[in-house]
């Protein structure tokens, strides 16, 4: 088996494991690293201080800093549920919305065993161990740069990687390999054209004209990475999103036309997760929260962050059903963060 045949076999095995997108690139420095540094200097990363840590920056500038023996990088994409597949019924009580990637199991738990399986497959094919490192949104890599260079798609105006055949509802992963494999041609076309639907759809106007976003205004950041108060002036724009946001992807023509309804079974919606009923969720005890969101990405927000987000959504929807729980939180919640947002929600409902 020559190197080209080995590369084809690896990509085919990856597809069998659920990675509908697979490509190979070199470990050369990413083309957009200077843009990334400017983004950091502008403070658009918000409270995510780990992004500007010196060692991590050096590694993002050159993947060989992560694995000196690296000769090739396998870049993979695995699909999750198209959010258009779930919509609220007319009879449903006021509900929040959770980003579609978080409807099922946490991809940080789902993807790594499959990456390990791919490494074992490669080592069996070549007959010896291979230096390797693998990541899925956990390592100091500019993932979308690598994915574009591996031919998976282009970086859209909404900052998501978009595949012309699959849209953008997929999660990325990478395996750095101490093995020479022929790289795929990079994806050089830009199919966004003059379209600005994602920018127009963003309630907080966080999407910038240079294909970056100001995380400090992004609903996904505000409801997940942000551990403090949600700025008062942005709360009305949060709508009923209680963990993440899909709006800029939902309006993208490439998702409307080409994103598949099917996803990896691990990311199938859990009962009561895509559209959580606000009045019920606001009463979750710590034990109930942990039980409901066991092995779920939603646990990243922690219960205090989730309750904060639910309160904002209840205020925006003027959810009368949520009044008892909001009143309880505003008066006696141990967490000041939850108390303050519950009090804000009450003022919105009682206006």
Residues recognised as catalytic: 137
The rounded distance, in Å, linking the Cα atoms of 218 and 223 is 9
Beta-carbon-side half-sphere exposure of residue 206 (alpha carbons within 13 Å): 24
- In what side-by-side order are the strands of the sheet with 132-135? 21-25, 72-79, 170-177, 132-135
The rounded distance, in Å, linking the Cα atoms of 191 and 200 is 18
The rounded distance, in Å, linking the Cα atoms of 119 and 125 is 10
The rounded distance, in Å, linking the Cα atoms of 94 and 106 is 26
The rounded distance, in Å, linking the Cα atoms of 67 and 56 is 13
Residues 6+ apart with CB under 8 A from 350: none
The rounded distance, in Å, linking the Cα atoms of 11 and 186 is 16
- Provide the token pair at 54: 């010196």
The rounded distance, in Å, linking the Cα atoms of 255 and 82 is 8
The 10 Å Cβ neighbour count of residue 332 is 8
Can you tell me whether residue 79 is helix, strand or coil?
strand
The rounded distance, in Å, linking the Cα atoms of 212 and 208 is 5
The 10 Å Cβ neighbour count of residue 345 is 31
The rounded distance, in Å, linking the Cα atoms of 50 and 331 is 35
- Provide the token pair at 81: 């549920």
Residues 6+ apart with CB under 8 A from 199: 157, 158, 205, 207, 209, 248
- Provide the token pair at 287: 């034990």
Query: What angle (nearest 5°) sits at the alpha carbon of residue 223, between those of residues 217 and 228?
Result: 85
- CA-closest candidate to residue 198, choices 182, 209, 185: 209
């Amino acid at each position: 088996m020559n190197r080209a045949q080995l590369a084809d076999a690896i990509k085919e095995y990856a597809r069998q494991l659920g990675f509908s997108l697979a490509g190979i690139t070199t470990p050369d420095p990413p083309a957009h690293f200077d843009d990334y540094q400017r983004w950091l200097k502008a403070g658009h990363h918000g409270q995510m201080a780990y992004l500007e840590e010196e060692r991590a920056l050096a590694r993002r500038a050159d993947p060989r800093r992560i694995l000196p023996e690296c000769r090739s990088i396998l870049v993979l994409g695995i699909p999750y549920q198209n959010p258009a597949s779930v919509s609220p019924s007319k009879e449903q009580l006021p509900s929040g919305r959770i980003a579609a990637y978080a409807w099922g199991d946490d991809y940080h738990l789902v993807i790594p065993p499959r990456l390990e399986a791919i490494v074992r497959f490669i080592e069996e094919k070549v007959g010896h161990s291979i230096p390797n490192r693998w990541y899925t949104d956990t390592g100091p890599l500019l993932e979308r740069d690598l994915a574009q260079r591996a031919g998976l798609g282009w970086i859209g105006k909404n900052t998501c990687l978009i595949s012309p055949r699959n849209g953008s509802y997929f999660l990325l992963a990478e395996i750095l390999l101490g093995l020479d494999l022929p790289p795929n041609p990079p994806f050089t076309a830009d199919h966004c054209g003059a379209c600005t639907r994602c920018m127009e759809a963003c309630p907080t106007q966080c999407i910038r004209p240079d294909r970056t976003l100001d995380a400090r205004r992004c609903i996904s950041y505000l409801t997940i990475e942000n551990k403090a108060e949600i700025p008062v002036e942005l709360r009305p724009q949060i709508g009923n999103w209680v963990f993440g946001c899909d709006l800029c992807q939902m309006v993208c023509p490439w998702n409307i036309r080409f994103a598949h309804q099917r996803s990896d079974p691990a990311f199938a919606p859990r009962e009561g997760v895509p559209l959580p009923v606000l009045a019920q969720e606001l009463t979750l005890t710590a034990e109930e929260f942990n039980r409901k969101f066991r092995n779920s990405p939603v646990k990243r927000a922690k219960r205090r962050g989730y309750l904060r987000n639910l309160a904002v959504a209840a205020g925006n929807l003027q959810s009368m059903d949520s009044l008892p729980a909001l009143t309880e939180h505003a008066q006696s919640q141990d967490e000041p963060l939850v108390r303050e947002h519950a009090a804000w929600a009450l003022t919105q409902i009682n206006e």
